[in-house]
Amino acid sequence: MSIIVVGSINMDVVARTATHPMAGQTVLGNQLRFIAGGKGSNQAIAAARAGGDVRLVGKLGQDAFGKTLEAFLHQEALNLDDLTFSPNAPTGTAIIVVDEHGENTIVVIPGANHDLHPAHLSHLPIHPGDFVLAQFEIPLETIHALFTLARSRGANTVLNTAPAMPCSRELLEQVDYWVLNEVELALYGGETVPPHDHDALTALALRTRVQHAQTMVVTLGAEGVLCVPAESEQAVFIPAHRVQAVDTTGAGDCFVGAFVTALRQAFPLESALRFANAAAALSVQTEGASLSMPTRQAIEAFLHG
């Protein structure tokens, strides 16, 4: 396989409201939907729809959500040979509130995703030149073992450190492409708030990366993306496309999946960033995470339209 995504699979319980509730406040919603999600699933679907050859490795619970998600994933162009079921834990769930501006808040309950252990990885068919992608909704020890295995076999590693949490330097040293947003960059860089100008963001990215051969990709939401390539001290900035956002849920996952597909298909780095930016711009115009991931045809039409 060309792209191996090891990560979470969740059922997203999405409530739409006019405004987000403040602490202690109750607000009325106007819609409730159950949508396939989880960073692993989202990024795998985004990569596959963007034209990648993708294997998804993850765990579900033996419950109604698990059965529904399994059926949904089988409709996508994914290799699911390593989709397994936890004997005890429920399927991962995310509680998502989306306001009238398309902004969201999310609470994730990991469930079966935390049953994905290093022992499940040794048999994976990882080959030189493959891209191996993970996120922080599965145990950190599993990611460390995965990346150690991947690099020993000559594969490229991509880590999306979301949701942000403390991790070892040893894990980060196994990462070829580190993708994070500006808030996560501030956390890992030891700052209380993210810088707001590109020079300061670049300086923080340079201080934060753990090796010179690591590419830092900092997503900036509606502003675009800033990237410090491996072996470089200079940043590349790609502005975002101006679109009307309906729901930003999954936009970051869409960017990551499309970016990895472009890299695997030997796009130059800047072209891969532009491709992923376009995919993310399309995704925010559709409600839901996995449902909003655009096809390769749609991305190319958007870029050349």
For 210, the 3-state DSSP assignment is coil
Q: What beta strand segments (E) does the chain contain?
A: 3-6, 10-17, 29-37, 54-61, 78-79, 83-86, 92-98, 104-109, 131-135, 156-160, 177-181, 215-219, 224-228, 236-239
Contact yes or no for 108/97 (Cβ under 8 A): no
3-state secondary structure of 231: coil
Half-sphere exposure of 268 (CA within 13 A, CB side): 3
Q: Is residue 130 within 8 Å of 156, Cβ to Cβ?
A: yes
- Residues listed for the chain: 305
Q: Is 63 among the residues known to form the active site?
A: no
Torsion sign over Cα 47, 51, 57, 58: positive
Q: What is the C-alpha separation between 108 and 53, in angstroms, rounded?
A: 28
Which residues have a Cβ under 8 Å from the Cβ of 255 and sit 6 or more positions away? 46, 179, 219, 225, 276, 277, 279, 280
- Identity of residue 128: P
The one catalytic residue in 115, 130, 176, 253 is: 253
Label residue 118 exposed, middle or buried (CB < 10 Å: 0-12, 13-18, 19+): middle
Distance (Å, whole) CA 265 – CA 303: 17
Active-site residue set: 253
